[in-house]
Amino acid sequence: MLSAQFAGAAPGAAQCSGRASRAVVRAARARKAVKAPGSGGRAPPPSLAAPPSATALELAPSAPAKAEEQAPLGLERELADNGFRSTRRTKLVATIGPACDSAEMLEQLAVGGMNVARLNLAHGGHDYHRGVVERIRKLNKDKGFAVAIMMDTEGSEVHIMDLPSPIKAEKGAEFTFTVRDAATCAANCFAVSYDAFAEDTQPGDMLIVDGGMVSLEVVGKAGPDVIARVVDPGLILSRANLVFRRMGKTVRARNAHLPVISAKDWRDIDMAIEQGVDFIALSFVKSADSIRNLKSYVESRASRQISVVAKIESCDAVPNIAEIIEVADGVMVARGDLGAQVPFEQVPSIQKEIVMRCRQQGKPVIVASHLLESMHTVPTPTRAEVSDVADCVRQRVDALVLCGETAAGAYPLKSLEVLRGVATRIEEWVREERHGRLTLPQISTTADGLVSEELCAAAAMTADALQARAVLCFTRRGYMAGFLSRCRPDAPIFAFTDKQETRQMLNLLWGVSPFRMEFDGADGEQRIHRAFKLLKTRGLASPGELVVVVSDVRQDVGGVEDTIRSVQVRRVL
Ligand SMILES: Nc1ncnc2c1ncn2[C@@H]1O[C@H](COP(=O)(O)OP(=O)(O)OP(=O)(O)O)[C@@H](O)[C@H]1O
Ligand SMILES: CC(=O)C(=O)O
């Protein structure tokens, strides 16, 4: 398992000076990689080696005694191996694509700390995504993981159509972008997915390919064709995303009148609902209306709760951030497209504003894209990438998303390992420095909610003051765990729920390790005992350790059923 030293991936690197060569660091990494499970697939992770019968984690009646004897997996194993002071609270989201979509790779990602799998509906057909969902479900069922599934809509993206292979765009070369069938145009021609492309473009506009991988200036138009000259050279990939900009006082994307949810998106959303995913991430949100619209659609059709995450990635969304956060179940700062639509130097301040607002309003906040971009092709991150991840962790975001690094990169497992290592090390530093505390306004509108919020704030403060080993809570729908997570206590939050879907949802939230436990027939004290037993079995708690327990149980009080809420300071029995 990862050491809490440097950035997790390489203990050797911790001792290197800033002048250490990449070669030295790489050599240290390579030594570590041989030992580390889940790093590049060199050694089989323990869960792969374990017999299938020894992998169920749930404390359910169907698997009672055995489940308590199981070894922990994923984040639980990180907790058990590292001790509570050096364990990860930031959740990791991995985009699934050809580089990591096999059952074996998915399992290694789960072992390596993937909490949520992101499926980008801009790529791959329904059968492809159904297959990935099926493999993740099987992994959760057979091996006891709670990897949640997030489907991400394509949205009103303008992109070039399929290419048989990437095209090298040399500086000064001219290319044609057209709405005609590409087969009908000459060489160096790309078909574009947006019918009004030629009308919306004028000479002098900049075409930004894949968020800046290649930039071209429009030099002419001929009917449906737009001719552009390469200014910043690079590689143009199949289905590359296109944004067009006109320089002026502000930089605006010109595809602003496209619908937020296209006909294809609705078909994709129906598939996500049919598959019963945990999260739908809506791309290119402009205002709160599209979130409301999608939420009511999902609520009317889905047989389970599906959270809607608003992706902030367009210049239209930025002025409406407050109202979008208000209605969304969570927010993703999608820096790839955002940085192509607003001047990229504004991305850090927009990210910070969104993170702070979300934390104040108790909404999960996720940061995506370019975290370890160089690891697409190189097994070591740049120091600037490490610093960017550190900055996100210091802002105490709930989750970080790897995109191309895992979906299509050469080092998916290593990228996840580096992200996990950096997050873990920086969190330790944050705890030491006590950064990132916020004064949180109350958000609940119901009396019951307000009581629960106060209770959780008190529990988190008590746990910090006493340096408790963990905060425990029992939660059916996840609210208590959400309130606790929002307070960002130093100790891990162990949330016990009787629903697998709640367990998966909680896997996105900062600091929460969700477990499934049967509640029926157990009173408050019995639940606590069950929880202690489960934690001891997994090596997550030892007798005598101090924990803070938040509970709210329905109980008969003098012949009347009432909800008894409490914060208890307990020693593990
Ligand atoms: N299901 C998939 N099938 C094939 N390739 C994929 C798939 N998912 C992701 N990829 C590849 O990984 C790259 C990075 O993934 P990512 O999800 O960031 O896509 P993107 O095209 O940049 O779109 P977005 O703006 O939604 O992030 C993609 O450009 C694509 O090449
Ligand atoms: C993740 C994503 O969609 C983006 O960064 O644009």
pLDDT at 520: 79
Ligand 2 atom 1 nearest Cα = 334
Cβ–ligand 2 distance for 368 under 6 Å, the answer: yes
Q: Kindly report which listed range (300-309, 369-378, 443-452, 499-508) carries the lowest average pLDDT score.
A: 443-452
Closest listed ligand to the CA of 405: 1
Spacing, Cα 40 to ligand 2 middle (Å): 25
E strands present in 517-559: 546-557
**Residue type for 100, please?**
C
Spacing, Cα 238 to ligand 1 middle (Å): 10
Spacing, Cα 310 to ligand 2 middle (Å): 11
Q: Kindly report which listed range (68-72, 527-531, 553-557) carries the lowest average pLDDT score.
A: 68-72
Q: What percent of the chain has pLDDT over 70?
A: 82
Rounded to the nearest angstrom, the gap between the alpha carbon of residue 19 and the centroid of all alpha carbons in its chain is: 33
Angstrom distance (rounded) from CA 80 to CA 528: 19
Q: Is the C-alpha dihedral spanning 535, 537, 538, 539 positive or negative?
A: positive
pLDDT at 257: 64
The CATH code for residues 158-253 is: 2.40.33.10
- Per-residue pLDDT band for 254 (boundaries 50, 70, 90) equals low
Question: Can you spell out the DSSP letters for 333-378?
Answer: EEHHHHHHHS-GGGHHHHHHHHHHHHHHHT--EEEESSTTGGGGTS
pLDDT at 77: 61
Q: Does the pLDDT of residue 52 top 90, yes or no?
A: no
Would you say the CATH fold of 447-571 matches that of 158-253?
Answer: no
Q: Does the pLDDT of residue 250 top 70, yes or no?
A: no
- Average the pLDDT over 6-27 and give the result: 29
Reported as a single tens digit per residue, the pLDDT across 197-224 is 888 888 998 898 987 889 999 999 999 9
Q: Does the pLDDT of residue 312 top 70, yes or no?
A: yes
- Per-residue pLDDT band for 73 (boundaries 50, 70, 90) equals low
Spacing, Cα 113 to ligand 1 middle (Å): 21
For the chain, the structural domain boundaries read 11-155+260-430, 158-253, 447-571
Retrieve residue 149's tokens: 């599934």
CB atoms within 10 A of CB 344: 14
What does pTM read for this prediction?
A: 0.80
- Average the pLDDT over 56-77 and give the result: 41
Q: Does the pLDDT of residue 534 top 70, yes or no?
A: yes
- Average the pLDDT over 29-34 and give the result: 32
Spacing, Cα 105 to ligand 1 middle (Å): 17
Reported as a single tens digit per residue, the pLDDT across 34-44 is 233 333 333 32
- Average the pLDDT over 478-483 and give the result: 93
Closest listed ligand to the CA of 240: 1
Q: Kindly report which listed range (179-183, 285-289, 523-527) carries the lowest average pLDDT score.
A: 179-183
Q: What homologous superfamily is domain 11-155+260-430 in, according to CATH?
A: Phosphoenolpyruvate-binding domains (3.20.20.60)
Cβ–ligand 1 distance for 120 under 6 Å, the answer: yes
- Tell me the sheet residues that pair with 253: 245
Q: Does the pLDDT of residue 136 top 70, yes or no?
A: yes
pLDDT at 68: 38
- Helices H, strands E: what count in the chain? 20, 23
Pick the CATH number of 447-571 from 3.40.50.720, 3.40.1380.20, 3.30.450.20, 3.40.50.150: 3.40.1380.20
What is the DSSP secondary structure assignment for residue 54, as one 8-state letter? G
- Per-residue pLDDT band for 59 (boundaries 50, 70, 90) equals very low
Q: Which atom of ligand 1 is nearest to the CA of 157?
A: 25
Average pLDDT, the chain: 83
Are the beta carbons of 505 and 570 closer than 8 angstroms? no
For residues 11, 16, 22, 24, the Cα torsion angle rounded to the nearest 10 degrees is: -70
Q: Is the C-alpha dihedral spanning 188, 192, 195, 196 positive or negative?
A: negative
- Per-residue pLDDT band for 309 (boundaries 50, 70, 90) equals very high
